[in-house]
Amino acid sequence: MEIEERLDEVRRGVGRVVVGKREAVDLILTALLCGGHVLIEDVPGVGKTTLARALARTLGLTFRRIQFTPDVMPSDVTGFTMLDPRTGEARRVEGAVMRQLILADEINRTGPKTQSALLEVMQEGQVTVDGVTTAAPRPFMVLATQNPLGLTGTYPLPEAQLDRFMLCVRMGYPNAEEEMRILDLAREELGPEDLPAVLSAAEILEMQRLCLQVKCTGAVKQYIVRIAQATRQDKDVSLGASPRASQMLMRAAMAWAFLAGRDYVLPDDVQRVAVPVLAHRIRLKSDASYEQRSAQSVVEGILGSLRVPAGA
């Protein structure tokens, strides 16, 4: 019960500056409990950056924002070694990723080479510069924001990069009531930096450990595998969900159950996180657009067609 109350405090804290994004917050907490990373995709101006900053404050994590632009170099992200002119010795310059929570803002406004600089630290939790490997601080999480492709100055993320994001969250526009509240908040002069820390790094690491103890039955695992295999067999899909995607789906369902206060996974948990986990990993055939299909609709169709295990 204490863990549930602490997580509710995080939600309330974020809700003081971010209006109506409870689902997005819960999905990001789901990834955090798994040690995963999140891609937040939506049009500019819907609060992606504010949400990331508010979470960093309430979670009590060290924070760094990297504003990705076409001139950002890989060494800006990972760090580099330079010769100190005073001593003549090589000196390591720390990269921007050496914080616990990284906001990779507008990640698709930089080129593929710089985007790929994040691959090692996202997968392995470490950075290698000139043959020297340094562990990233723990817990470690990348929250990347992305503008929809087609907007001026955007580059598509490589499939290998997309696969490193456990979840893709789409925030959407606020409704009229929420937008009125946003206007009121603009006059209150309360920002993410004003929020108190609710958790600490040590507490988050302990929650991650407890999350691994959530039970996932054989029937639920079979259900996850059937979902992943169905994405590979769909006639409109050219690249289906990988075995890594199946692992991420199971881990995310375990974390979603943990957030709900349970120590076991239900098929409903799998269904709830399936689209955020799988849709951004799926590639459709070029002619699928003529049928107005999307990766999200493919996953939703699979969930609607497969038999749900009973008593799991």
Q: What is the CATH number of the domain that holds 22?
A: 3.40.50.300
Both 61 and 155 in one domain: the answer is: yes
User: β-strands 141-146, 237-239: how paired?
Assistant: unpaired
pLDDT at 149: 57
The domain boundary residue, chosen from 203, 229, 244:
203
pLDDT at 266: 96
pLDDT at 154: 65
Can you read off the two tokens belonging to residue 226? 């059937």
Please name the residues in contact with 312: beta carbons below 8 A apart, sequence gap of 6 or more. Answer: 217, 219, 220, 223, 265, 266, 267
We report the CATH number of the domain holding residue 265 as 1.10.8.80
List per-residue pLDDT tens for the chain, 312 residues long. Answer: 588 888 889 999 888 888 888 899 999 999 999 999 999 887 777 778 888 889 999 999 999 998 888 888 888 888 888 877 788 777 788 888 899 999 988 888 887 778 778 888 888 888 888 878 888 899 999 999 887 655 555 667 777 788 889 999 988 788 898 888 888 877 777 778 888 999 999 999 999 999 999 999 999 999 999 999 999 998 888 888 999 999 999 999 999 999 999 999 999 999 999 999 999 999 888 776 656 778 899 999 999 999 998 766
pTM, two decimal places: 0.89
Determine the distance from the C-alpha atom of residue 265 to the mean position of all C-alpha atoms in its chain, rounded to a whole number.
21
Cα–Cα distance, 134 to 125 (Å, whole number)? 9
Both 185 and 42 in one domain: the answer is: yes
Which of these, 186, 200, 79, lies nearest to 129 by C-alpha position?
79
Helix orientation angle between 22-33 and 267-278, rounded to the nearest 10 degrees: 90
Both 132 and 235 in one domain: the answer is: no
Both 36 and 125 in one domain: the answer is: yes
**Total count of residues recorded for the chain:** 312
- DSSP letter at 20 equals S
310 within some domain = no
Both 172 and 228 in one domain: the answer is: no
312 within some domain = no
Can you read off the two tokens belonging to residue 230? 């169905």
Residue with tokens 């819907």: 46
269 within some domain = yes
Both 185 and 274 in one domain: the answer is: no
pLDDT at 289: 62
The domain boundary residue, chosen from 181, 203, 225:
203
Number of folded domains that form the chain: 2
Both 135 and 262 in one domain: the answer is: no
Which of these, 288, 191, 160, 281, lies nearest to 234 by C-alpha position?
288
Q: Which domain holds residue 263?
A: 213-305
